Amino acid sequence: MTVDSTVEPAGGAAASEPELVQLLTPEGERVPDDHYDALIDDIGPPEIRGLYRDLVLARRIDSEAVALQRQGELGLWASLLGQEAAQVGSGRALRPHDHVFPTYREHGVAWCRGVDPARLLGLFRGVDQGGWDPRSTNFHLYTIVIGAQTLHATGYAMGVQRDGAVGTGDPNRDTAVIAYFGDGATSQGDVNEAFIWASVNNTPVVFFCQNNQWAISEPLERQTRVPLYRRAHGFGFPGLRVDGNDVLACLAVTREALQRARDGEGPTLIEAFTYRMGAHTTTDDPTRYRLGSELEHWRLKDPIERVKAYIVRGELADQEFFDEVEAEAEQLAEHLRTACRELPDPGPESIFDHVYVDPPAPLLAQRDEMTAYLDSFANEEARR
Amino acid sequence: MTTFNIVKAINAGLRRAMDGDPKVLIMGEDVGKLGGVFRVTDGLQKDFGEDRVIDTPLAESGIIGTAVGLALRGYRPVCEIQFDGFVFPGYDQIVSQVAKMHYRSAGRLRLPIVIRIPYGGGIGAVEHHSESPEGYFVHTPGLKVVTCADPVDAYWMIQQAIESDDPVMFFEPKRRYYEKAEVDTDGSPTLPLHAARVVREGTDATVAAYGPMVKTCLEAATAAADEGRSLEVIDLRTLAPLDLGPVIESVRRTGRLVVVHEAQRTLGVGAEVAARVTEECFYELEAPVMRVTGYDTPYPASRVEDDYLPDLDRVLDGVDRTLAH
Ligand SMILES: Cc1ncc(C[n+]2csc(CCOP(=O)(O)OP(=O)(O)O)c2C)c(N)n1
């Protein structure tokens, strides 16, 4: 097979890497920016410390869940390691009434939405299929079928338009919707259809693609020949690439995109350029398909270290602050451990709950059949 | 003789098919370098190259749709759907295009495509990873649907499916992937692709199953034997077309039939088997045909999947119910 080498590489650290919005370098230096600085001019030392805390806690939720999986308490976990800044930056850009449509990896966004992280564990422990209330958190259920949620987000945003909750200038009314998805997902028909729907209807939706370079074992090159953010132009709305490991930049670009949406200016595609530092999920073995050197390259761009360096350099916090965050992370981990083990196992008959709003008689008959069957064992025990 | 589990058996079958016919291609998500999430295609890209073992973009409709084009151009694509629950983005291509092309073209066009799907539950997975969607495809004229239950069948049936000039949905019982058996790779298949098989002889009742439930039913038959009941177990192997000859022959002797599958009950394979056996064996039947199946609910969270899935006890309960008549 021949590959046209004149085409710009889709990802990687090549010299031709397209421009990306960066406000904080991997070394923790603040990069001034004529445009984006204004979008985060409210972020002073307390807010920076807040973002740092979010990043650390998001990582701790994740590492604790990985540990719980290893101990057999969870069946599976999809780690966000390396993607904390993309998730916290975008998550903190949201207003309470904005609505989020996540994949299965957005634990950091869930944290920002105030979802108790213990609630995230149920799906992975196998006791439920989404243990939080999407209505009260404005954080939809995790979607495992790749890309499907991008259409849901777009449709939700069409509803927002019809409710007149766009472009009124009232910050308590104007609403944006954000859809998260991965680089692999951009190949799905659903995602491309979502782009079209959003474009044609000028819907208040932000497409937030975390390009973590891998879709399980497939590198970005298997999905695209152009940088992903450029796809947006063809669909008729703006796209941009942001340093996904830079929480300030992610905050700034997402704020801007959400505001465009709320103002009735339509969709935006944000490509957060980041890296999946861990395995795809706890069942995956990345050493089969990628080089350790790549990991080392990205380790230097760690999303948390750079914020810490920035704080230390600017003397925006003292050691006590870092110790407090560590202690809080420990507490959160302890909460997760306890809450995980205490998650109630569903009873057999719960299988039949919520299949319908109005359950039909034949289904209820099947449930009775199960009850009678289970009772027959209990009766047998009693007879013995 | 080689000892294979089902994963290795399908791998060896694919390898042999690719060796034998340069037109055979493999395509799917992560099938190349990784060798598939279950390693069914392990090593094939290394040996046959990226032109023949294709890591596709992440899009099932694309996988099936481009397989149609490749087949029209003379290739024999073997598509992997990573998990049962992810076949649906490709469902339109399968049902509206793959299944109908031969018909619409008045026989001028053939689509010798195999669509491999690891299916079924019992592995403690999260949602969409444990489903049994075979019924949708059995219901679709133009598709052939088969499923293997052991390494010997896995090895031969995948090759026979690839040789088929009709499209074949090839369902692999993922919870049985690591069951081992001796496979005679030098021999030839003892059965055609579309044939059911008696896997244990018996006289009191017939139990028909396929895929992952064959092992469950064999275990049930062993347990029943301890209680003095003799069960005949039939592995259906082919769901479209159904080969009910062995079932009918068996039911004529036993007078009783239990059909077992993981898939939900309503309009499932069991319903079709029950209807046809009732038509053919009405006067020989001593009891209604019983179905032991998943319930008519979405596949539940994994901590309750053992209550959803038919197991040894539920199969025996079904047998008891038919014998009680
Ligand atoms: C429709 C569908 N097909 C296949 C899968 C199996 N699968 C789960 S995650 C994944 C890769 C996703 O990659 P990407 O979109 O880049 O997101 P990431 O997991 O890297 O965050 C695949 C193929 C799925 N969940 N849904």
B125: chain A residues, CB-CB within 8 Å:
75-76
pLDDT per residue as tens digits for the range A40-93: 999 999 999 999 999 999 999 999 999 999 999 999 999 999 999 999 999 999
Decide if A127 touches B, using CB distance below 8 A. yes
Judge whether residue A222 has pLDDT over 50.
yes
A276 is catalytic: yes
Q: Where residue A6 falls among pLDDT bands split at 50, 70, 90?
A: very low
What is the pTM for the complete model shown? 0.96
For residues B182 and B187, give the distance between their C-alpha atoms in angstroms, rounded to a whole number.
Answer: 12
Please, which residues bridge with residue B55 across strands? Answer: B28
Whether A146 is in the pocket of ligand 1, judged by its Cβ within 6 Å, is yes
Whether A276 is in the pocket of ligand 1, judged by its Cβ within 6 Å, is yes
Q: Where residue A14 falls among pLDDT bands split at 50, 70, 90?
A: very low
How open is the CA angle B106-B107-B113, to the nearest 5 degrees? Answer: 130
**Is A262 in a helix, a strand, or coil?**
helix
pLDDT of A13: 44
pLDDT of B37: 98
What's the average model confidence in pLDDT over A128-145? 96
pLDDT of A380: 82
pLDDT per residue as tens digits for the range A269-297: 999 999 999 999 999 999 999 999 999 99
pLDDT of A383: 76
A289 is catalytic: yes
To test the ligand 1 pocket, which listed residue (B82, B88, B115, B129) has its Cβ within 8 A of the most ligand atoms? B82
Give the atom of ligand 1 at the shortest distance from the alpha carbon of A186: 15
Whether A55 is in the pocket of ligand 1, judged by its Cβ within 6 Å, is no
Q: Give me the domains of chain B, ranges plus CATH numbers.
A: 2-183 (3.40.50.970), 197-323 (3.40.50.920)
Judge whether residue A344 has pLDDT over 90.
yes
Backbone angles phi, psi at B216, to 5 degrees: -55, -45
To test the ligand 1 pocket, which listed residue (A216, A222, A283) has its Cβ within 8 A of the most ligand atoms? A216
pLDDT of A15: 42
Judge whether residue A8 has pLDDT over 70.
no
Decide if A252 touches B, using CB distance below 8 A. no
Single out the residue of B123, B121, B303, B308 nearest to residue A343, CA to CA: B303
What's the average model confidence in pLDDT over A117-139? 96
Q: Do B297 and A355 count as a contact with CB atoms less than 8 A apart?
A: yes
The complex scores an ipTM of 0.96
pLDDT of A10: 52
Judge whether residue A2 has pLDDT over 60.
no
pLDDT of A378: 85
For residue A183, the CA-to-ligand 1 centroid distance in Å is: 9
In this structure, the number of other CB atoms found within 10 A of the CB of residue B188 comes to: 6
Q: Where residue A358 falls among pLDDT bands split at 50, 70, 90?
A: very high
- The string of DSSP letters for A57-106 reads HHHHHHHHHHHHHHTTS-S-----TT-HHHHHHHHTT--TT-EEE--S--
pLDDT of A1: 43
Q: Phi-psi bin for B168: left (phi > 0), alpha (psi -120 to 50), beta?
A: beta
Look at ligand 1, atom 3, and give the residue with the nearest C-alpha: B86
| pLDDT, one tens digit for every residue, chain B (325 residues) | 999 999 999 999 999 999 999 999 999 999 999 999 999 999 999 999 999 999 999 999 999 999 999 999 999 999 999 999 999 999 999 999 999 999 999 999 999 999 999 999 999 999 999 999 999 999 999 999 999 999 999 999 999 999 999 999 999 999 999 999 999 999 999 999 999 999 999 999 999 999 999 999 999 999 999 999 999 999 999 999 999 999 999 999 999 999 999 999 999 999 999 999 999 999 999 999 999 999 999 999 999 999 999 999 999 999 999 999 8
Instruction: Provide the residue count of chain B.
Output: 325
Please, which residues bridge with residue B4 across strands? Answer: B181
CA distances to B127, B210, B240, B264 from B140, rounded to whole Å, are 25, 19, 9, 17
- Verify cis geometry, omega within 30 degrees of 0, for the bond prior to B241: yes
Judge whether residue A95 has pLDDT over 60.
yes
User: In chain A, what percentage of residues exceed pLDDT 90?
Assistant: 93
Instruction: Reply yes or no on domain A2-342 having CATH 3.30.460.80.
Output: no
